Amino acid sequence: MHDLNPDSLKRLLPFFLLLALIPALPALAQSTAADSLVRLAEEHHRHYRFDDALDCYDEALDSLAARPDSLRSAADTLAMHAIEARMLLSRNGLAMTEFVDQPEVIARRRFSREDFFRYYPFPDSSWISKPNRADRSAATPLSPVTLVNGADVYFSAPDSTGIYRLWHSIHRPDGRYTPAEPFDAGVPEGANCIFPVLSPDGERLYFASDGLYGVGGYDLYSIRWNPRRRGWDTPVNLGFPYNSPADDFLFAQDPNRSEALFATTRDCPADSVDICVVSFNAVPVYTPMTDPEDLEALARLELPVEETVDDDPFAGRDHAELYMKRMAQVRSLRDSLSTGIKAADRLRSEYSAAPDSLRAPLQERILAAEQRQEQLREEIARLTQEVRAIEAIFLEDGLVLNPDKVAAPKEVREPYTWVCSALGEDLLFTRRERQIITLSDPVMYVTTLPQDSLILRRKSIDFTEDELASPLLDTLIRKMLSTVTAPSQEGVGIAAPQVGINRRLVLVQRLDKEGEPFEAYANIRIDTLTGPIVHGAEGCLSVPGMRGMVARHSEVTISYVNPTTLESCTETVKGFTAVIFQHETDHLEGILYIDRTQIVAEDDDWAEKREQYDYSRPQWW
């Protein structure tokens, strides 16, 4: 035997490693073959060759299953499960080829992912910042926004597990929105759902999901309202060509045209989406389309070749057909105008009977209805003018047209116009609260008795989690601080109702801390009142020129949210600062200090009034 020195061993090491790997080589080869087959299957799937994709997936599974149990790893098992999941998508695609719609493509344009939704044909202010915090996690491919449909708000937001669910909130007569409730009609747990949109008649809800029956990515679905059982039916996939192996989302009907829009990422760069405008049929005619090339061509949603139009505005069109179309549009718009006028009259009746506190939102709805009526009148006038121009052509040609005897025309579509709508105000705070916060001077108007008693006597509500994180709250705190420290006020505390906002927020001067700073306390409550009761003189910015003797506890325990850190806190406060907290939190319950004493006097008479007080009791001053 030859002696092997270290150098010889180094030279032979690759040979020994190769010998060790020989038993694993078949497994490695199988793994490589399976990966190649999966990639090929995915390519087939992207091109609608679902049969070929399933064949490749089957071969990949067979390749992994042929591996000896001793060489099969947990990763192999996971890979097999992943392949089976992909096979399900291809099977879905194969089944969906039996039910294919073929809408006319009206328009298609590419937009940024950040604001593409603003080019949908909705009125200004339809889109708002989501009432939940903006979350750009990988769970959803798009900017989180909310569409307001009349009095209802539908939106998607992550739940406690991070899954995007559908939510619903209702605009109340007092201007606030009800707490959002999950809207899960038939959607299984674990499925992300985004961009819910109601149909104009309110009978269907469209949304996109990545966890229902589909072909991959986000697919589009509709849920139909069932009036007999007063509930929503099971979600239905919209099928091809609305859905594709890419992401498809935000399906909406154009409320003014027989068209629908949806967004897609097919053939788009990562920062863009395409909006496709197609003809809309409430009851689509589905037909089989099993040829992958035909399916892929349909899914490209290519625009038809544009016809050349000369200077004649009616060139290339049959005048009779165009005349009938315009007449039908005028009739439809007149019907809409009549319906709108009746709805506005009902709102005016509600406004007349409503108390002052509920009139503001009704007035806004009346104004919106009147604006819509004016738009309809302008459109009717424009179309009527065009009808008269066509009638003039008929007269020149000696043609007498009876609209009732002309066959229904083939629809002549106008070129699609893209308009960017203005974003609406978010749902954080009511409109009135936003106006007070944003439009007021740095020193805010202070509510006083008796003219502001409706505000001062109302109980205040908490801020929502998102309102706590809103810059509007920072602005409110800053302005409240400027108000309470103004030379005209010089108070030691202030509560939000004192500036016209019934929210649980107080600013208190911490006389018990170094520097005696003012600090803000949101969603504050007094948990316990302890310590000896002490009597002292109190005044109030909202009851100017008056003072009174009030009995207060000398120690309190408070719970609140720190507006800066958003942390929930608990604290025990003693001495005169505890009295300030009691005074300010009373405001949040609609209570004033004059409700807690029978000894009240104007400032000029206070010295004399104090003489009547029993000074054997402890005093703050």
Catalytic center residues: 584
Six token digits for residue 521: 């306390």
The whole-angstrom separation of Cα 255 and Cα 374 is: 17
Looking at residue 294, its amino acid is D
Residue among 412, 414, 401, 415 at smallest CA distance from 318: 412
User: How many Cα atoms within 13 Å fall on the side-chain side of residue 54?
Assistant: 13
Burial-class residue 257 by CB neighbours within 10 Å (0-12, 13-18, 19+). Answer: middle
**How far is Cα 220 from Cα 241, in angstroms, rounded to an integer?**
10
Tell me how far apart the alpha carbons of residues 89 and 245 are, in angstroms, rounded to a whole number: 9
Q: Beta-carbon neighbour count of residue 318 at 10 Å? A: 12
Three-state SS string across 513-543, please? CCCCCEEEEEEEEEEEEEEEEEEEEEEECCE
Residues 6+ apart with CB under 8 A from 30: 63, 64, 66, 67
- Compute the Cα dihedral for 209, 211, 212, 214 and give only its sign: positive
Coil, strand, or helix at residue 506? strand
Give the residue among 618, 619, 548, 552 at the shortest CA–CA distance from 581: 552
E strands, 327-418, in order = none
Q: Measured between alpha carbons, how far is 260 from 206 in angstroms, rounded to an integer?
A: 11
Q: Rounded distance, CA 573 to CA 581, Å?
A: 9
Tokens 């706590």 belong to which residue? Answer: 468
Cβ contact 504:582 at 8 Å: no
Residue 548's nearest CA partner among 538, 540, 563, 534 is 538
Please report where in the chains the tokens 């709250």 appear, as a residue.
Answer: 473
Beta bridge partners of 225: 232
- Is the distance from CB of 553 to CB of 530 less than 8 angstroms? yes
User: Which residue is listed with tokens 């057909």?
Assistant: 321
Backbone angles phi, psi at 103, to 5 degrees: -75, 160
Burial bucket for residue 542 (CB in 10 Å: 0-12, 13-18, 19+): buried
- One-letter amino acid for residue 370 of the chain: E
| DSSP codes, 570-601 | EEEEETHHHHHHHHHHHHHTT--GGGG-S-EE
User: 237: how many CB neighbours lie within 10 A of its CB?
Assistant: 20
d(CA 242, CA 252) in angstroms, rounded, equals: 12
> Which of 118, 446, 156 lies closest to 263 in space, CA to CA?
118
What Å distances lie between residue 532 and 535, 551, 553, 580, 618, CA to CA?
A: 10, 10, 6, 16, 10
- The alpha carbon dihedral of 181, 186, 192, 195 has a sign of negative
